[in-house]
Structure 1
């Protein structure tokens, strides 16, 4: 596969694709590939890192969408993401992010360690009833992060079951190639989520709690210029979906890699202190988010290539994490390897707000699972979700007794 074939493979992806062969072909070409007039694929680690941190590289926000895609507000899912911090640029992004950041401080996240450990133990206790065969995505990788983020937000536990399908539908429009059917499903999910949070915000105004819904609703009530009504609902939906969607993929990926690499699984089982390095390597080799994008708002240069103003850039996070110039033997799973941190959570002002929490959940859950069920084995090869950008496992079928 040459670079042009690799680019076509990634840009026209449908179905269950392993993108890593295409990433390797791009690396053989260089750090960045021009794929059209003012359009670029960025795949090298240093080039992606530079673009993530360059203030001239902006998100395609509401103002820019007005110019390039008139009528976009008719698509509820696109509008929801545009109203959130995900697609905003400073200073609007800074204003919204600051309001939510207090929930994800290092001190507060570390304070959740005991709560997460308790939730993990409770979930593992429940697994024994299904020891002869169960899906660890449905029984562990999903319920743990959804339990944590809904508790932080203040979403009632009884409502948790409805969000997995809604998140899958909503995030369809974050893929490179979404169809009209994908968009309709995403729009319906956006409507349902914003309606849900509108009712929850009203309930928290009447009965305030120590949670993020109450705090953000109060910020909106105190000053609508700090957080508009649309921004309030959009960011609550984003925090919910982002709070478990990628963490589910991270935990499931860590389980599959452990089962495929029993020597490393044994080391992690015997020494949970190895968990941080193990999770970093999971993030590097199987990142839950593969792609992000930027638009050049001024002339720039990346890896020696001139980037004209108005250019669109696809930043291949998954490719950057396998750049052989930065990671020797990049396709080999090797926890504890030397090298720079993976770019799986992005970088710069848009660095993932929930990254410390996602890491902590995986660092606790993975060694606990391996200690509790040392004879665990796959009973069939796991199946991937039919997504390239939000890449993860649809199911991980195991027997716990071996």
Structure 2
């Protein structure tokens, strides 16, 4: 199997469900592979990190997209994503990111720990109630989705009653992030983009009438005070991206991480006994089975990466999931080892597009895993989890578990004297 054939396998439904064997086949051709003229696949950690930080490489913004995808403006999904910070380069990217970054400072994220613990405790209560007679419970539906969506919706000021709407809409829209998409899949993504944009247009109108202490109000006021800081299209696009990115990645992190822990009972026992080890566990889950498997960059000037010359106009597909298992950086990369001396996975990217909500995603996982293991010591898989047939955003569609007995005397993860509640 040559590199082009391996890449074709990776993009197939079978290759997407378990990409790691294919990553290793591609790695055999080197850390930077020319898969086609001006099209490069990157499997090496150092090389992917270099490209993510190098200003000669950018995302596919409007000007570049016009060259490669005539008619892209006819797609609501592509248009919506392209107007956000996710698909813009400096200075527009820096301008938009600055407006939202205040909600994700380390101090503000740390202040959310008690809120996240309270929400997680309530979700475990609900799982126990639903599975008290031994019935399987879908962890993705009952915990992995509602925890992060509740937190990001609280930050944005989305009413709690509306939160169930977003799972399907986001799943539809994020199809556009895949490296290959069929016309039928694009139509589904367009539908999701339309529903999300319509929802946030109504929320923006409501916040103009009655401002609130939330991120939506802050962005609306930035737009209304000076349209040059944030246009109307950018306002809606960034609200959509903040919502979707705020839970899609974390939902997958929680699902992927729980499966890893349940399949490594010794490691789970250690974390149950020592919750302070959670940061290392979360970093290793991010490395071992990343919720984000790839991203891409376009070279705007010639560059040499990993000894390979990439001319201007080169398209680089960065396989983050492969880079996180690069044996040059991580000895025995296929082994789950929370005590690795060196972690820093590329799951949240690097450079100017480093994930704005990475700290929040880490916090939610650091709270959730010890809480689940402590309160549900007999938690176990109740069947084979089913992966989504996505490559960019890797996670489970369903994850059946049995909650088993609840540990006696365990609290709900809420500090003494505080009443559990949602943000």
TM-score for both structures, normalised by structure 1 = 0.98
The aligned residue for residue 344 of structure 1 is 347
CA distance in 1, matches of 2:360, 2:340: 22
The aligned residue for residue 109 of structure 1 is 109
Q: Is residue 12–residue 177 contact of structure 1 (8 Å, CA) maintained in 2?
A: no
In the TM superposition, what are the counterparts of 1:275-354 in structure 2 within 5 Å?
275-354=278-357
In the TM superposition, what are the counterparts of 1:124-273 in structure 2 within 5 Å?
124-131=124-131, 132=134, 133-273=136-276
State the 1:17 CA deviation.
Answer: 2.5
State the 1:16 CA deviation.
Answer: 5.0
The aligned residue for residue 81 of structure 2 is 81
Q: Is residue 3–residue 35 contact of structure 2 (8 Å, CA) maintained in 1?
A: no
CA distance in 2, matches of 1:105, 1:193: 26
CA distance in 2, matches of 1:122, 1:69: 46
CA distance in 1, matches of 2:17, 2:363: 29
State the 1:8 CA deviation.
Answer: 2.5
The aligned residue for residue 53 of structure 1 is 53
* 1:124 counterpart SS class: helix
Instruction: Give the gaps of 5 or more residues in structure 2.
Output: 406-423
State the 1:62 CA deviation.
Answer: 1.1
State the 1:234 CA deviation.
Answer: 0.2
State the 1:352 CA deviation.
Answer: 0.2
CA distance in 2, matches of 1:212, 1:262: 40
Q: Is residue 300–residue 307 contact of structure 1 (8 Å, CA) maintained in 2?
A: yes
Q: Which stretch of the first structure deviates more once superposed, 374-383 or 101-110?
A: 374-383
* 2:356 counterpart SS class: coil
CA distance in 2, matches of 1:300, 1:100: 32
The aligned residue for residue 381 of structure 2 is 378
State the 1:65 CA deviation.
Answer: 1.1
TM-score for both structures, normalised by structure 2 = 0.93
State the 1:179 CA deviation.
Answer: 1.1
The aligned residue for residue 8 of structure 2 is 8
The aligned residue for residue 71 of structure 2 is 71
* 2:34 counterpart SS class: strand
* 2:298 counterpart SS class: strand
* 1:187-209 residue CA offsets vs partner (Å, 9 max, x unmatched): 11111111110110010011000
CA distance in 2, matches of 1:378, 1:366: 15
CA distance in 1, matches of 2:2, 2:78: 34
Instruction: Give the gaps of 5 or more residues in structure 1.
Output: none
* 1:313 counterpart SS class: strand
Q: Is residue 10–residue 16 contact of structure 2 (8 Å, CA) maintained in 1?
A: no
The aligned residue for residue 24 of structure 2 is 24
* 1:237 counterpart SS class: helix
* 1:263-292 residue CA offsets vs partner (Å, 9 max, x unmatched): 000011111001000000100011111110
